[in-house]
Amino acid sequence: MSGSKFAYVKNYELPDPLLPGTFVVFRLDGHSFHRFSDEHNFSKPNDTRALKLMDHAAEALMKEYPDIVLGFGESDEYSFLLRKSTSLYQRRQAKIVSTLTSYFTSCYLFYWPTYFPNGLLKYPPSFDGRLVMYPGEKEIKDYFSWRQADTHINNLYNTAFWALVQQGGQTTTEAHATLRGTVSKQKHEILFSRFDINYNNVDARFRKGSVIVRVEIPELHEENEPPTKEGIDDSTTVQNPVKAGKTKKKKKSAPKTQLQVLHCDIISDSFWNEHPGILT
């Protein structure tokens, strides 16, 4: 390419390709959301509006990027699995991580008023993002198990912690002290004996996080159907238009899918067996 005498500086931009044929996980996490959640009065331990907003932004991202085959979210973070063979942005790392993080952040802001109609933003939230390559299916299953195990550990702690504070009248310092060194069983016991809370009955959204999968929709109701109003509650699914207005009648196109938000276990093999398409 010709250009000005300055154009050589472009050569300092080094290629940053992802390895071919590797699974790629993209994870983003809210920047300083401890503060952000305080300043915006998130309810503790779990603000459902905020979690649903995260799910909504994640669904929007998956609609925009069909090569994302799985999403998993908890708290202020979301992980996404890219198809092993994806050629998204020629597999350029910085391009992928920056564009996806930016799009998710925009969606978070775009849909904020839907979930916080009376909650003006005090300042713009941001997210960090990263990409990690994994060689095989085992690592991918273990990756998502790791995140869901983390959800469990954090939520059990937070549920016990906030019960001690909100219902038990302890200060935050006292509650931390009460829980210091306790194992999982003891936290269950504290919740049950002191606060009559059976942890297993806590909302699955909190205990399991959010899992977003693509499921095939039967051929029947295709076009001409108004798009589903997007995911304000769990049961809502979002159409996956290839591009709005561009869904011409095509023969032999890939089966149509829609996104589904689940709050299920993904650690045991049954999840992966029920969704064999994820790892292909």
Which residues lie near ligand ATP (CB under 6 A)?
Answer: 1, 3, 7, 10, 29-34, 37, 42, 44, 46-47, 50-51, 75-76, 95
Instruction: Decide whether 139 or 150 has the Cβ nearer to ligand ATP.
Output: 150
Of 31-39, 213-221, 245-253, 264-272, the window that binds Mg ion (rule: CB under 5 A) is 31-39
Assess contact for 143 and 70: CB atoms under 8 A: no
- What is the nearest approach in angstroms of ligand ATP to the Cβ of residue 120? 18
Annotate each residue in 58-97 with x if it binds Mg ion (CB under 5 A) or - if it does not, as one string: -----------------xxx--------------------
| Residue 95 binds: one of Mg ion, ligand ATP, none (C-beta under 5 to 8 A by kind) | ligand ATP
How many residues contact Mg ion, by CB under 5 A?
Answer: 6
Alpha-carbon distance of 185 to 87, in angstroms, equals 46
Greatest alpha-carbon pair distance for the chain in Å reads 76
Q: How far apart are CA 270 and CA 264, in angstroms?
A: 11
- CA distances to 44, 167, 191, 198, 203 from 194, rounded to whole Å, are 18, 9, 6, 11, 19
Residue 47 binding: pick among ligand ATP, Mg ion, none (C-beta 5-8 Å cut-off by kind): ligand ATP
CB closer to ligand ATP, 49 vs 275: 49
Q: Which of residues 123-152 bind Mg ion (CB under 5 A)?
A: none
Return the number of the residue (115 or 199) whose C-beta is nearest ligand ATP.
115
List the one residue from 30, 125, 209, 231 that touches Mg ion (CB under 5 A).
30
Interacting partner of 42 out of ligand ATP, Mg ion, none (Cβ under 5 to 8 A depending on kind): ligand ATP
What is each CA distance from 226 to 86, 235, 239, 251, in whole angstroms? 30, 17, 9, 21
Backbone angles phi, psi at 216, to 5 degrees: -70, 140
The structure tokens 């092993």 sit at: 84
Q: Please, what's the b/e burial string for 8-22 (b: 16 or more CB within 10 A of its CB; e: otherwise)? A: eeeeeeeeeebeeeb
Contact flag: residue 33 with Mg ion (CB under 5 A) = yes
Nearer to ligand ATP, 108 or 271 (CB): 108
CA distances from 103 to 42, 65, 107, 116, 127 (A): 23, 10, 6, 20, 11
Measured from the CB atom, the residue of 16 and 174 that comes closer to Mg ion is 16
| Residue 37 partner contact from Mg ion, ligand ATP, none using kind-dependent CB cut-offs of 5 to 8 Å | ligand ATP
Burial 136-151 (b: 16+ CB within 10 A, else e): eeebbbebbeebbeeb
Give the pairing type, strands 68-74 and 127-134: unpaired
Query: For binding to Mg ion (CB under 5 A), which residues are involved?
Result: 29-30, 33, 75-77
